Amino acid sequence: MSDSHTDTQSARKKMNGAEALVQSLVREGVDVVFAYPGGASMPMHQALSHEPSIRTILPRHEQGGAFAAEGYGRVTGKVGVCMSTSGPGATNMITPIADAFLDSIPMVAITAQVGSGLIGSSAFQETDVFGMTAPIVKHSYLVTKLEDIPRIIKEAFYIARTGRPGPVVIDIPKNFQEGVFEPDFDAPMDLPGYRPELPVPTEKLDVVLPILMAAKRPAIYAGGGVVISDASEQLLELAERLQIPVATTLMGIGAMPEEHPLSVRWLGMHGAVYANNTVNEADVVLAIGARFDDRVTGAVKTFCEHARIIHIDYDAAELNKNKKVELAIRADAGAALKYLNARLAEAGVERRAYAVENRPEWFGIIEQWKKDYPLCYEQRDHEIAPQAVIEELYRQMNGRDAVICTGVGQHQMFAAQFYRFNQPRRLSTSGGLGSMGYGLPAAMGAHVAYPHLPVINIDGDGSFLMNVQELATISTEHMPIKTIILDNQHLGMVVQWEDLKYDSHRANTFLADASAQYDPTHHTPELLYPNYPVLCAGFGIKCERVVEPAELAPAIRRMLESEEAYVLDVMVPHDVHVLPMIPGGMGYRDVVLERIAGDGKGRKASDLGKEIPSAL
């Protein structure tokens, strides 16, 4: 008997729906599932417990598990998988599903559902997961036929990882998990109209190169689509062949090596002045894999208002959606860049790291901007600047490959500003949704993906507490994840906006005990809330508090040298602002360069007598 015949016979043996689901995951190459059990999902957990090739990690909250799956997908490009029971288990995963949707992260979220006969009856722990997640998924399934399970799993993974990636939800009633049948794992997919492969639009792309080569002040604005397409090397090649400066978005960080002379880092609300100036004062802008979101453009009407804009994006819905452009091209970023580079090679355009003589005036202006408006911060006696923490971490990493995860808030921006990323998928952070609580569980997913790399979560005290329960998972799974908490006892980013708009009036942004008259400048230990060393000890994780600047470097060294999970609670002042800052809805010329005063007016470049010189 042939091996293929034997395989077919074994594939068609009887099993229940949960077992068929798990075997379908095996066939998709799944090696880890973040899953929290409940009454409706017990059959799936029983099946997972008998499958040695899949590591099932028990998070301590479904949101933590789904963020971990998203973190895994974000740093690998592979599909992250999470699972929950029905009702509240499923609803707890909605935030990470929305996060994955906005940032185009491949993820499959499997939710258990009450028995099919009870759907619509308001049964115990019944929720309409299909309906609730419809606006925030790439696709969703409600299993209505036992025999469909293998096909649905195959389709879900294909949809999640192809084209513009995104989350797919599979809702499986409990009776279909328990029903017995002979699964057909070779059942063909049934996806009429879904054709993720795009032809390379050569005729349109042929128009691009003459425009770029004729430009006096060209710039590339690269987004997360470059990372998704694994096109970072192609982007670097194009920049070096044409000698064009490159700015990335927050989601595109690492797509261009940030220490490369053609890099101007990242642009947007808290991006570098020289990045925003370069893109906004260019005469030709190539936007690739980016969507012109408001945190990048500010006042969209004045964004790149004097430039000819070429926009290349996989998703047709993004073309001319937020910003009308001269040339809109639907194409995969990687395929488009590869084609452009091939044409340049054919034309004999050589690749050089940095050739200022190509456009001496333009590069001279950019270099002057870099010199005059660097990313910098105020250093104070006996206080640790949060930016200094990131700089010291980067110094001690000394070029070692690592994955940096963050929560959302000021610490997120400081990490992106003061840590240098020279390859893609090394910063895992929540972009479009801006979800606090992302960092710690995402670090779990990153560690599972890259167990031999250091994984460091940079968090704020507010964001860290939102999924602090995952310290239990980290401890029991023996994950050597490191966390630095930039602890200012406040919701720092909201405080910054209170300074800007509400004359520094604090409205529920102080996280400690208000009745204790806590003085943020003196860090009285008994008043700090919570007591992180005590809290972490309860999870079996080492934590130390850092108060004085002289303590910082040795503490970071101890953390990095530890072979186990480690938390540094670094006390930082609450009145430090993330700068530069372009206030929402304003243009790049309205950038705030100095700390916003408590009068609510803010201090813009023009207010300070430091009007940024223009190239226009």
Tell me which residues are annotated as active site.
Answer: 62, 124-125, 174, 493
Q: Residue type for 109, please?
A: A
Q: Using an 8 Å Cβ cutoff, are 185 and 24 in contact?
A: yes
* Segments in 77-166 forming alpha helices (H): 88-91, 94-102, 129-133, 149-161
The whole-angstrom separation of Cα 304 and Cα 279 is: 7
Q: Which residue has the tokens 């929540």?
A: 430
Query: Which strand ranges, in their side-by-side order, compose the sheet holding 55-57?
Result: 55-57, 32-35, 80-84, 107-113, 167-173, 139-142
CB atoms within 10 A of CB 494: 16
Termini Cα distance of the chain: 77
H or E element at residue 234: helix 232-242
For residues 450 and 422, the answer to whether their CB atoms sit within 8 Å is: no
Query: What 3-state DSSP class applies to 270?
Result: coil
For residue 394 the two structure tokens come to: 């980067």
Q: What is the CA radius of gyration of the chain?
A: 25
Question: Do residues 231 and 333 lie in contact, with contact meaning Cβ atoms separated by under 8 Å?
Answer: yes
C-alpha span between 552 and 543 (Å, rounded): 14
Find out whether 40 and 449 touch, Cβ atoms under 8 Å.
no
* Residues in a beta bridge with 569: 485, 545
Q: How far apart (Å, rounded) are the C-alpha atoms in residues 250 and 255?
A: 10
Please give the Cα distance from 284 to 304 (Å, whole number): 9
Question: DSSP states of 417-469 as a string?
Answer: HHS---STT-EE---SS--TT-HHHHHHHHHHH-TTS-EEEEEEHHHHHTTTT
Residue written as token pair 């670090």? 443
Task: Give the 3-state secondary structure percentages of the chain, helix then strand then coil, rounded to 5.
Answer: 40, 15, 45
Element spanning 80, H or E = strand 80-84
Token reading at 183 = 């699964």
Pairing of strands 180-181, 15-16: antiparallel
Nearest 5°: phi and psi at 217? -135, 65
**Measured distance CA(225)–CA(77) in Å, rounded:** 12
Dist CA 349 CA 40 (whole Å)? 61
DSSP state of 483: E
